[in-house]
Structure 1
Amino acid sequence: MKLGFGLYKHMLDDEHFAFARQCGATHIVVHMVDYFNQNDRFSRSNQPVGDTQGWGKAKMDVWTTDELLDIRARMEKFDLTFFAIENFEPCYWDDILFDGPKKLEQIEIVKQVIRNVGAAGIPVFGYNFSLAGVAGRILENKARGGAQTVGLDGLNEQTESLLPASMAWNMVVDEDATGLREPTTTEQLWERLAWFLEQIVPVAQEAGVRLAAHPDDPPLELVRGQPRLVNQPHLYQKLLEIYPSRSNALEFCLGTIAEMSQGDVYQAVEQYARQDAIAYMHFRNVKGKVPHYHETFIDEGDIDMPRVIQILKEHHYDGVLIPDHSPQMSCDAPWHAGMAYAMGYMKALMQVI
């Protein structure tokens, strides 16, 4: 197993690379879609009611191989490996998600992105085939000692408000669009995913890239009037069986799996680790299940984290674990302190087990 660290695009500088390495990380997962303007994982967790901006405006900015190689080279100065990218820009594929008129044009953009990622020597691309994205979570002070964290305390006006036609994945993709998105059925969403995988997995195979699917967070049945795809652990298997390939894999979010209303998190880890389907894992802890849960420090939630590591070891898992995010601690550097705490715990746990 390898210890990794997640960084947003605005964090791709020497200061953050040094911090990740000092925490013991050897591998980096990059969110190239930069939702935030500061080092605050929760800065956009409380969107206003009736929100039409979400996490901001999406950009059509196709990442080139040279751009990715530059990021990789700057990481390597700190002995860090550029292991994965998380999430496409919504403008790359909003018509793929919603079966719009530009989906054939957009699938060619997505294919080129995957080719560029492979050419830059980045082995994994994480994605979330979600219409509404992450919406409705709230800031709470429910982690140990009153630390600030995110959660869901029942359905709220944002989870229930319908998705504007201007948005996809909780980001604005068309400022001129008016009205609301047409409702999609669960069956239609799975049909769109199947078409996407049939188009993209062969390209990923040729490029040497593993596609890694994230489950839906929050894992409700509907968010903003749109269905969810992987909101129960067994649905990951359905996704894998659409196009069996090593390049069709999972971005296994442990916290999201634990939040789901059905299933057993340890059984899910065992099932997908046994198949070598986990490309990398978000190693974070939670208390509760939808629609009432909150994220916790890594050692205080409902998940027995040492047990998860033991299961991964038994199945010879050799992928990357990242904390993804952590409660923010009461000090002058709340994000840094929370992440350092999580990383220290993970490193010790991996060494002991």
Structure 2
Amino acid sequence: MILMEKTMRWFGPADPVSLRDIRQAGCTGVVTALHHIPVGEIWPVTEIKKRQELIETAGMTWTVIESLPVSEDIKRQSGNYQEHIENYKQSLRNLAECGLKVVTYNFMPVLDWVRTDIAFTLPEGSKALRYDRAAFIAFDLFLLKRPDAEKDYTAEEKERAEALLATLSEEARTTLYNNALLGLPGSNDRFTAPQVLQALQTYAGIDENKLRQHLFYFLQQVVPIAEELGLQLAIHPDDPPFSVLGLPRIVSTEKDIRALLDAAPSPANGLCYCTGSLGVRSDNDLPGIIQRLGDHIHFIHLRNISRDKAGNFFEADHLLGDVNMFAVVRELVKLMERKQVSIPMRPDHGHQMLDDLQRSTYPGYSAIGRLKGLAALTGLELGISSSLAEASPQ
């Protein structure tokens, strides 16, 4: 019986969720990154090994990087992008020298992820991450005041956003503004509207087609190096999988994924299969993506979302949202049996609950909510694996 390698994300020594917490949750591996190294610079072997030793001393392994970030210069093909690509290649060499295996990254412009509420209270009192479309439109139109933003929304959407804004106090407006920009790298420092608008302006003239060509060029440069080194590159889908703030999104559908795989054909060119990001779109066939593109799935994020037709969604219990987690895990179990490999997985996000309601952690990454998700997913996987094993001919 082949099971997924159980991991959790760790944000480094300053993370209030400790390595001991992660090991006690039942994980054998840790997913982390060297967040202190500026984007575009080389990850030195000494720094990689220092992080590796911390994890191994805690009794776990580090085989998955999340993430080795791609600079905005590379995404725009501007400034020092050629130097940054060469630095990326050297970082890959250094990671391979230290024995790491999977390198996660994304190609989302400016914002890595977007939510409007990081403490959405559920009926039983736990808190979740939520994206409210009317709230985001209100932020875009009336708080950020992005030029020409009104062209991206219907009259009905603008009317709903304005009505929502009228109900918000100044404190609530400030909270919305800050929440909407948490996916902006470095946003622990409060970015001003002019700074954000300037960052958006750097993508003027870059549409989906041009950004896609920039991604393909990047892959064609780094994938051969990764293959030579025995590394697996795993791109994370867009979160959420649609345009925000007028920025193009190009890793949102199965068609998008197929295009980037075709751009640099290689076993090293692959996907971080995130059920939460892909699941926001009802037109994404999540079990089908595993069936058709499973050979390129190198890392797994399992989380669930509850969505509605208005474009809103929130992080649901790992087994109980609109993602059919039973069907997803069944296909993953069958994939691993066919390939005879264990794919690393982490329970992505989790509700803030119990004692963690009194603790401050990175949004979505409290300890107990992820522990609950890991327990549920592990039980589901074991049940499916045992059932399939009993049903197969001896």
Normalising by structure 2, we get a TM-score of 0.74
* 1:157–1:135 Cα change, 3 Å: farther
Alignment-mate amino acid for residue 132 of structure 2: D
Of Structure 1 and Structure 2, the greater helix share is in 2
Larger radius of gyration: 2
Deviations 1:242-272 (A, max 9, x none): 1111110111111111102422222223222
Report what 2:373 is aligned to.
342
1:146 aligned to 2:177?
no
**Kindly, what percent of the aligned residue pairs are identical?**
26
- Indicate the SS of the match to 2:254: coil
- Indicate the SS of the match to 1:226: coil
Alpha-carbon distance between aligned partners in 1 of 2:140 and 2:33, rounded to the nearest angstrom: 24
- Indicate the SS of the match to 2:73: helix
- Indicate the SS of the match to 1:118: helix
Alpha-carbon distance between aligned partners in 1 of 2:89 and 2:227, rounded to the nearest angstrom: 11
Report what 1:38 is aligned to.
none
* 1:288 aligns with one of 307, 332, 342: 307
Structure-to-structure mapping, 1:240-251, within 5 angstroms: 240-251=261-272
Report deviation, 1:287. 0.6
1:127 aligned to 2:87?
no
Alpha-carbon distance between aligned partners in 1 of 2:333 and 2:205, rounded to the nearest angstrom: 43
Structure-to-structure mapping, 1:8-47, within 5 angstroms: 8-11=11-14, 16-33=18-35
Report deviation, 1:83. 1.6
Report deviation, 1:157. 4.3
Structure-to-structure mapping, 1:243-282, within 5 angstroms: 243-273=264-294, 276-282=295-301
- Indicate the SS of the match to 2:272: strand
Of Structure 1 and Structure 2, the greater strand share is in 1
Deviations 1:261-292 (A, max 9, x none): 4222222232222xx11111111111116721
Report what 2:58 is aligned to.
78
Q: Verify the 8 A CA contact 1:216 1:231 in the aligned structure 2.
A: yes
- Worse-superposed segment, 148-157 or 208-217: 148-157
Report what 1:214 is aligned to.
236
Q: Verify the 8 A CA contact 1:126 1:251 in the aligned structure 2.
A: yes
* 1:172–1:299 Cα change, 3 Å: closer
Alpha-carbon distance between aligned partners in 1 of 2:38 and 2:244, rounded to the nearest angstrom: 20
Deviations 1:146-199 (A, max 9, x none): 321112111424566559xxx9x7236999988422241111011101110111
Report what 2:46 is aligned to.
66
Q: Verify the 8 A CA contact 1:183 1:225 in the aligned structure 2.
A: no
* 1:118–1:328 Cα change, 3 Å: same
- Indicate the SS of the match to 1:236: helix
* 2:90 aligns with one of 112, 118, 124: 112
Report what 2:207 is aligned to.
185
Deviations 1:290-326 (A, max 9, x none): 7211111212211232222111111226201101211
* 1:325 aligns with one of 340, 349, 371: 349
* 1:342–1:158 Cα change, 3 Å: same
* 1:12–1:149 Cα change, 3 Å: closer
* 1:330–1:78 Cα change, 3 Å: closer
* 1:233–1:202 Cα change, 3 Å: same
Report deviation, 1:12. 6.7
Report what 2:319 is aligned to.
299
Alignment-mate amino acid for residue 255 of structure 1: G
Report deviation, 1:67. 1.4
Report what 1:314 is aligned to.
334
Report deviation, 1:116. 1.2
Alpha-carbon distance between aligned partners in 2 of 1:207 and 1:345, rounded to the nearest angstrom: 35
Q: Verify the 8 A CA contact 2:278 2:286 in the aligned structure 1.
A: yes
1:2 aligned to 2:5?
yes
Alignment-mate amino acid for residue 236 of structure 1: I
- Indicate the SS of the match to 1:286: strand
- Indicate the SS of the match to 1:231: coil
- Indicate the SS of the match to 1:9: coil
- Indicate the SS of the match to 1:146: coil
Report what 2:382 is aligned to.
351
Consecutive unaligned residues of structure 1, counting only runs of 5 or more, are: 35-56
* 1:188–1:250 Cα change, 3 Å: same
* 1:184–1:60 Cα change, 3 Å: closer
1:156 aligned to 2:180?
no
Deviations 1:5-32 (A, max 9, x none): 111124579x722211111111211143
Alignment-mate amino acid for residue 302 of structure 1: D
